[in-house]
Each structure stands twice: as C-alpha cells, then as structure tokens.
Amino acid sequence: MITTIERTAGNAGGYDAVVIPFSAKGEYTLSLGPQYDEAVKALAASKAWKPECGTVLSRSVFADNKFAELVLVSLGDGTASKRQLFLAMAKAFRKCRSVCAKKIAVFLDHAKEITNQKEAARKFCELPHLVSYQFLAYKSAAAPCGFEEVSFITEMPGFEEIVREAETVARGTLLARDLVNHPSMYMTPNQLAEEAVKVGSECGIEVEILRKPQIEALHMGAFLAVARGADDEPVVIVMRYRGDGSAKPPVALIGKGVMFDSGGYSMKSKMATMHDDMGGAAAVIGAMQTIALMKLPTPVVGVIAACKNMISGKSYVPGDILRSMNGKTIEMLNADAEGRLTLADAITYAVRREGAETLIDIATLTGAAKTSVGGNHAVLLASNETLAETVETAARTTCEQVWRLPEDEELLTVLKSEAADIKSSNPGNTMGGGSIVAGLFIREFTEGKPWAHIDMAPVNWSGEGNAYSSRGGTGYGAGLLYETVKRLEK
C-alpha cells in the first residue's frame, strides 16, 4: 500500500472514498465540489450526526462520473483519549474497506485542533495498514479487498517522518499478526526460528538459534520439560540488536513461544485457536524488526523459548519436579501452566548469558487475566516504578491498553512447596489472583533486575474482529514494546 502526503486540500476527484474528520465545534470549511459539499452538509445536519467522538456517517456520492464513499467522523471536543480518537478513525477506515475502496483521501487538517498532534497523527497513519490487513495464506481463491493508496491532506510540519514511523510500526504489527495466524502445522518452533533469521538478515539483527543439545547443555530443565511431549524439537531464538554500539547492557524482550498449547496432561477443553499461544514471541519479533528499522540507539536482545505443549508418553505430568536453568527446583502441578516455565528459563538466559539489566516479558499467560481486566487490556506487573511508568506511557501512545495489577506479596504464599523450591501454580487456590500469581512466579527468576510482565492473553486474538483488526491475531505488543524501548532512552 502507498501512503502519500498532499499539502493543500484540492477536490475529491479520483478517490474511491473521502474521509473528513470533524471536531465538535468545527464547521465544514472545505470546497470539494457541489456534490460533496451538499452531501457533507446533509449528513452534518441529520439527526444521526452527534458531536461525540466516534460518530461515523457515510453516503455514496456520484461526482466526476463515478461513485465514491463520503465518510464523516467526529473526533469530539478535544477531551477524548488517544485510544478513543484511534477507534473513531478506525471506524472511518473500516467503512472505507466495507465498500472495497482502493484509493482514499483523508482531509486531516479539517479537524486540525485535534489531529495536529504528532502521536495521534502517527496512530491515524498506522490505521490504513491495520484495517486493510487480510490473512489469505491458505485461501485457494483469495479475493483481496484492501487499500492501494491512502492520501493524507495536511500541512502539518514533519509529517513525512510521522508517516515513515507509522508505516514501520504497522509493518511490525502485521508481521506479528501473520506469525500468530499461521496454524501450528506450519508455524513450528523451527519455522518461527527461520522467520526470525529472515527478519535479522533484512534488518541487521544478529540471530542465533539454539537447538536441543545446546539447550540441554544450558540445563534449561523447565523449558525442556514443557517441550518433552512434542515431536517438533524446541529451539531458543536469540535476536541481538546492537543499537549505537555502546557497551551498555541490553534491554531484554522475552516472548512466550508456545506454538501450540494442548494443555498437556491438564488438557484444555477448547483448542481450535491455541496456535495463538506464541503471541508474545510474535510481538517480540515484530518489535525487534521495528526497533532495528527505526535505528533506536538502545541495545536490545530478544529471547524466545519456542516449543509445543503436547501429550505423549514422554510428556511431563502434574507432580513432576523440574530443575530450572537458574538452579531452582519447581513442583509442577498443572501442565497447562506451561508458559511461565518456558519464560523462567528464557529470562535466566537473558540475564546470565546476554547480560540484560532490564527485563520485559510478554505472554499469553493466563485465562485469569481477562477475568481481572476485561477483554480490552493486558495485565501489567512490574517490580520497578520507572519501568512500569514507561510501559504505561508507551501503552497510551500506541493505544495498546495495559492495566497494572499489584505485586501482592501475600499471594506468593500459595506457591510455597514442601517438595521443591517453588510450585509453578496452585490448582484449587481459593485466594484467586491467578494472573498475579503467575507473574510472581516469573519474578522469582528475574534475579533482582528491573522487570515488567505483560500478560496479553485478553488482547492477543480477536474472535470476531474489531474496528482495526480482522478476526485472528491482533499483533498486540509489537508497537508497545518498540515504544517502550524508545522511551527508555528518555
């Protein structure tokens, strides 16, 4: 898709759709031709038009010997959050897609008092890519219905750089979507490794793939236990971005890479979409691509322990005692609480082998997360206030919502074990707080480093799609991780 920038508002000829944002107090100030001008005034005067942010009205207009869709979107009175503005504009682009518009004009300056903000404008420029996305890899007779060219009409200074960053971030998000949407019969641990190698070769990232003998030599017993039941062998993917070449320790992004989660011998009842359990890994690979292409100065290492959690005669079973890479023994009581085991060893690797001093893990970790914060937020836990505030600020910028939960030390008591150093979970625990308990388990392996944990289970997969994402993987986290690393330099 091509994104173009026009500095002055011309007529609306030649477009399949025209998007005009309004502020609550704004009046129509364009002159796009009599057919468009009359249609705009009629829509704005209708009872259905409301000044509240998120109102979208449209009408087909015949002008210049063709029909085009006119889309009006209200951005409110200036009090709406970036997320609300993002969703409003997403609805406008979704309307354009519904009529299969190929060439679109967005008269961004028509609501300049709201749209003339760099962060909001960047999110608007991501939307054509996000809304236009389709996953057609397995369609024998694909019928693409995406945008071909989107023109933003604006005099906003520095808009070229805004578009460049938006396109780069969107590219990382769409990469994450693709990785999640492939079924596990294709997206195996080894295939994910190949995808990471491809990203590294294109973006100047050093990628090392650790195979089973190397993983065994590292004594990553918790991770290996999860992988034991699968025919596909596990891999550890290490992506090293050197930044400005300084000797300072890297920020580590650790993504859960369970390519399919059957639940093991604690079997799940529903598994049709469990190839999405590597959404954290996908987010890390997408973020690493974006970080490298945007040439951030911060050195970053991505670590992904990738495997499948399957059932066989070799599988681990509840009651097993596992020895992790850092030496702690783990009493495993729920084979479906596997993600935290893979992350424990991946985090230890990031600290001890890569020298990471700041840790951010992201994972589709717990069903309890959605119960805790609903379906529009990820759970955030953090051991460091500055890091927590950075993630929260980044989330507001990227419109990928997080809700910080407390590190409730009293809940840690449910992980005390008489047989090992720690339990991985406590089935039947009456104290609740499942997403917090899972985070506290992971924290035990961070060795005191500043750490943030993002449980993205509620937002990784959209069963029905939404304004900015079709059904399937949302790509959540790729932009959030990039923005977090970017802000860590400030």
pLDDT digits (tens, 9 = 90+) for 98-119: 999 999 999 999 999 999 999 9
Q: How many CB atoms lie within 10 A of CB 1?
A: 14
CATH classification code of 170-488: 3.40.630.10
Q: Is the pLDDT of residue 455 over 70?
A: yes
Contacts of 370 (CB under 8 A, 6+ apart): 457, 458
pLDDT in tens, 32-45: 999 999 999 999 99
262 closest CA partner among 329, 336, 198, 195 = 336
pLDDT tier at 12, thresholds 50, 70, 90: confident
Residue 10 is predicted with a pLDDT of 66
What is the mean predicted confidence (pLDDT) over 336-361? 98
3-state class of 241 per DSSP?
strand
Give the pLDDT confidence of 245-282 residue by residue, as tens digits: 988 999 999 999 999 999 999 999 899 999 999 999 99
Which CA distances in Å does 76 have to 49, 125, 339?
12, 19, 42
In this predicted structure, the answer to whether residue 155 has a pLDDT above a threshold of 90 is yes
pLDDT in tens, 383-435: 999 999 999 999 999 999 999 999 999 999 999 999 999 999 999 888 899 99
Specify the pLDDT at position 65. 84
Per the structure block, which two tokens stand in for 241?
A: 């971005």
149-153 vs 103-106, strand pairing mode:
parallel
Per-residue pLDDT, 49: 95
Question: What value does the mean pLDDT of the chain take?
Answer: 96
Distance (Å, rounded) from C-alpha 102 to C-alpha 47? 30
Span 422-453, pLDDT tens digits: 999 999 888 899 999 999 999 999 999 999 99
For residue 145, what pLDDT is reported? 81
268 is catalytic: yes
> Distance of alpha carbon 60 from its chain centroid, rounded?
34
> How confident is the model over 203-228, as a mean pLDDT?
98
Q: Encode pLDDT of 310-339 as tens digits.
A: 999 999 999 999 999 999 999 999 999 999
Q: Tell me the pLDDT band of 462, cut-offs 50, 70 and 90.
A: very high
Looking at residue 144, its pLDDT comes to 79
What pLDDT score was predicted for residue 2?
84
Question: For 297-307, what is the mean pLDDT?
Answer: 98
pLDDT number for residue 363:
98
135 token code pair: 């996953």
Kindly state which CATH superfamily the domain 2-157 is placed in: Leucine Aminopeptidase, subunit E, domain 1 (3.40.220.10)
Active-site hit among 97, 123, 177, 340: 340
Q: Looking at residue 442, what is its pLDDT?
A: 98
CA 464 to chain centre: 17
347 phi, psi to nearest 5 deg: -65, -45
Q: Which two tokens stand for residue 319?
A: 């009651």
User: Is 356 a residue whose pLDDT tops 70?
Assistant: yes
Question: What is the residue type of 14?
Answer: G
User: What percent of the chain has pLDDT above 90?
Assistant: 91
**pLDDT number for residue 311:** 97
Candidate list 268, 295, 314, 352, residue with the active-site label: 268
Question: What residue spans define the domains of the chain?
Answer: 2-157, 170-488
pTM: predicted TM-score of the whole model, two decimal places? 0.97
CB-CB contact of 311 with 248 (8 Å)? no
Q: Which DSSP letter does residue 265 get?
A: T
Q: pLDDT at residue 48 above 80? A: yes
396 has catalytic annotation:
no
Beta strands in 383-443 (DSSP E): 402-404, 422-423
Alpha carbons 66 and 111: distance in angstroms, whole number: 27
Average pLDDT over residues 145-172: 95
Phi, psi of 483 (to 5 degrees): -65, -35
Instruction: Please write the tens of the pLDDT for every residue from 116-139.
Output: 999 999 999 999 999 999 999 999
